[in-house]
Amino acid sequence: MQKNMIQDKVLTTKEKILQRAQALFAQNGYDGLRMDALAQEAKVNKATIYYYFKDKQSLYETIMCGVAEAFYAQVEHNMMGIKGDKARLSVFIDSGLDFVQTHRDIAKIMMVELSFEWKNVTPKTEAKFLPILQRLHEILDSGIQNGCFKMINPILLHSVLIGGFNYYLLIKNIYKRFEQKEHNETGHNETEEMEQKMTIPFSDGKEEIKAMILGYVVKDEK
């Protein structure tokens, strides 16, 4: 998080390139990233990028694989030693929400890649994502089979968790812009509903989503 600032000088050239590339891919997408811009941002010569990475696609692949591994590692780490389906589901949900919140660049890249139907994802990268999906399934399936979870399509749960939350974080940004603009433009005659918006501050969102999911999935215990 704050590594960038503190360790900026410590990063190797390759790491510097990867770091900036991730940010730029997230901002502009695969086609939108310009190698010139990346070189400038990473403060290296354009040719230096090609010293470390075969081409743009390979740079992207490196990032995507890193993403997959990072996500998998975090979930694995968090789940370690957790027993009981409900506890495991709870930890899993928290892990997912945290990852999406902490790794904004990655979440965005994934979202876009998903929208483009995995267009720029190579088989190698795809293979890295498989274990993650399998792991999610194991967890959810176990709960369903043990009877403490309602029968639910695991993918759907996953979607609400990751897709819903990521969308929330994204739209919050846009929303704030709307409000600022309106505020500037309308002067003081805000409508009541706009007042209303202000009274419901942007919540963290994680707890609500978790509650929404658990409320649906976990069977009432009597």
Partner DNA sequence: AATGAATGAGCCTTCATTCAT
Partner DNA sequence: AATGAATGAAGGCTCATTCAT
Please report how close the Cβ of residue 7 comes to its own copies at its closest, in angstroms.
25
**Residue 164 amino acid letter:** G
152 C-beta neighbours (distance < 10 Å), count? 15
Q: How many residues form the binding site for its own copies (CB under 8 A)?
A: 62
SS3 state of residue 200: coil
Structural tokens at position 91 = 């930890």
- Residue 137, binding choice from DNA, its own copies, none, Cβ under 5 to 8 Å by partner class: its own copies
SS3 state of residue 120: coil
Please report how close the Cβ of residue 120 comes to its own copies at its closest, in angstroms.
9
Residue 75 found at the interface with its own copies (CB under 8 A): no
Structural tokens at position 13 = 């050239």
Nearer to DNA, 17 or 157 (CB): 17
Q: What track of x and - describes contact with its own copies for positions 94 through 133 (by CB under 8 A)?
A: --------------x--xx-xxxxxx------x---x--x
CA gap 222, 31 in Å, rounded? 55
> How far lies 171's CA from each of 59, 165, 191, in Å?
29, 10, 21
Chain centroid to Cα 92, Å, comes to 14
Site for its own copies in 202-221 (CB under 8 A): 202-203, 205, 208-209, 211-213, 215-216
Nearer to DNA, 59 or 161 (CB): 59
Residue 167 found at the interface with its own copies (CB under 8 A): yes
Nearer to its own copies, 11 or 46 (CB): 46
142 C-beta neighbours (distance < 10 Å), count? 14
- Applying CB under 7 A, which residues contact DNA? 13-14, 33-36, 44-48, 50-52, 54-57
